[in-house]
Amino acid sequence: MRNDLSGQVEGARKDLLARTEREVANLGAGILGEMAEIRTAADLRFGESLVRVDTALGKVEELRADVRPMVLHAAGLAAQVDNAAPLFLDCEYNPDCLFNRYVGASKGIERAAFNFGQMSTDIRNAVPGAITTWQRIGTNVDGITANINRLTKPRWYDRLLGYGLNGVVIYRNLNPTTNLTLKGVRIVSSRP
């Protein structure tokens, strides 16, 4: 009778151990599945933010392309003024020559001032859009940082679940009699 009881206890213990291991494995698989979903969602949001950053960088490149011709033109005007200086020295006190060169130089300076004013207006119109774009990029980067921070820090309930599972496993391993008693109660209560 004692051997029979010992065999039943051992069988119940193994059965309970197998069920517990299956439950823990299922719980682990569920947690891994949820983590994969969280990682997928984070990847999606990160990808969306990168697309926004690429769009902003494209706008900056467009602005740079728009400003570049104006800067080159201003450099060309400065070169013309530099080249015009020696021409005044060649007139040798001829009033007509000096007047004509003065008129030409003043028209060049007038054109340069007009182009500089136009360039300033273009820059003034383009800067608010660029600032708005960079502020959006900053907001998106802050959101990405907050999401990554939230995903990578453990929560109190993560530790609580771990401690609880460890306690159950330790209790089960240290108290096989309790496991047998619970198994016996289940067997007796399930029969009519």
3-state helix, strand, coil in the chain (%, to 5): 95, 0, 5
Q: What is the pLDDT along the chain (192 residues), one digit of tens a residue?
A: 677 778 888 888 888 888 888 888 888 888 888 888 888 888 888 888 888 878 888 887 887 888 788 878 877 777 776 676 555 555 566 666 667 777 777 888 888 888 888 888 888 888 888 888 888 887 877 878 887 877 777 777 777 888 888 887 777 777 766 666 667 777 777 765
Please choose, from the candidates 176, 154, 158, 177, the residue with its C-alpha nearest in 3D space to the C-alpha of residue 166: 158
> Tell me, what's the pLDDT at 88?
54
DSSP designation for 109: H
Residue 115 lies in a domain: yes
Which helix (DSSP H) or strand (DSSP E) does residue 191 occupy? none
Residue 188 lies in a domain: no
**Radius of gyration of the chain from Cα atoms?**
41
d(CA 59, CA 57): 5
Residue 190 lies in a domain: no
Q: What is the pTM of this model?
A: 0.28
Quote the number of domains for the chain. 1
> Tell me, what's the pLDDT at 138?
79
Residue 26 lies in a domain: yes
Give the amino acid at 23: E
> Tell me, what's the pLDDT at 169?
75
Domain that holds residue 110: 2-153
> Tell me, what's the pLDDT at 167?
82
Residue 13 lies in a domain: yes
> Tell me, what's the pLDDT at 89?
56
> Tell me, what's the pLDDT at 74?
77
Helices and strands, counts by H and E, the chain: 4, 0
> Tell me, what's the pLDDT at 95?
65
Q: Give the contacts of 92 (CB within 8 A, at least 6 positions apart).
A: none
> Tell me, what's the pLDDT at 90?
59
Residue 168 lies in a domain: no
What the block records as the tokens of 30 is 């569920």
Q: Give the contacts of 144 (CB within 8 A, at least 6 positions apart).
A: 45, 46, 49
Q: Do 3 and 170 touch, CB atoms closer than 8 A?
A: no
> Tell me, what's the pLDDT at 105?
78
Residue 171 lies in a domain: no
Residue 182 lies in a domain: no
> Tell me, what's the pLDDT at 191?
61
> Tell me, what's the pLDDT at 77?
74
> Tell me, what's the pLDDT at 85?
58
